Amino acid sequence: MIYREDQIRIEALIELSNSKSGTLTTTQLIELLEDRLAPNGKDAKIVDGRSDTYFSQKVRNLVSHRDQGLGLANQGLAIYNSEDESWTITEKGRNSIST
């Protein structure tokens, strides 16, 4: 299955919600999501000129798109901390995946 960024946003919120602290780094999110979702096909391939897969790049896009349109931070679903490159789920984020 090829995952869209909107699907990855939801799955990231689930992982954040499952975390004891509600906080995970982007690297931790990539590892957890790769383990659980097992991306294949194009998502499993290395991006030309990069060292990461298409899937991990989509997860990293959570950061670069955080303040745009449906971005996690823009929607108030999670807070990004640039100092340690971590995400913390908000109450709104928890509510969005429990309905």
Residue 98: what pLDDT? 85
pLDDT digits (tens, 9 = 90+) for 26-76: 999 999 999 999 999 999 999 998 889 999 999 999 999 999 988 999 999
pLDDT digits (tens, 9 = 90+) for 9-18: 999 999 999 9
Which CATH architecture best describes the domain 5-98?
A: Orthogonal Bundle (1.10)
Please tell me the distance from the alpha carbon of residue 92 to that of residue 25, in angstroms, as a whole number: 19
SS3 5: helix
CB neighbours of residue 58 within 10 Å: 22
Instruction: Please report which confidence band the pLDDT of residue 1 belongs to, taking 50, 70 and 90 as the band edges.
Output: confident
Residue 99: what pLDDT? 63
Domain segments of the chain as ranges: 5-98
**Can you spell out the DSSP letters for 47-79?**
PTTSSSBHHHHHHHHHHHTTTSTT-TTTTTSEE
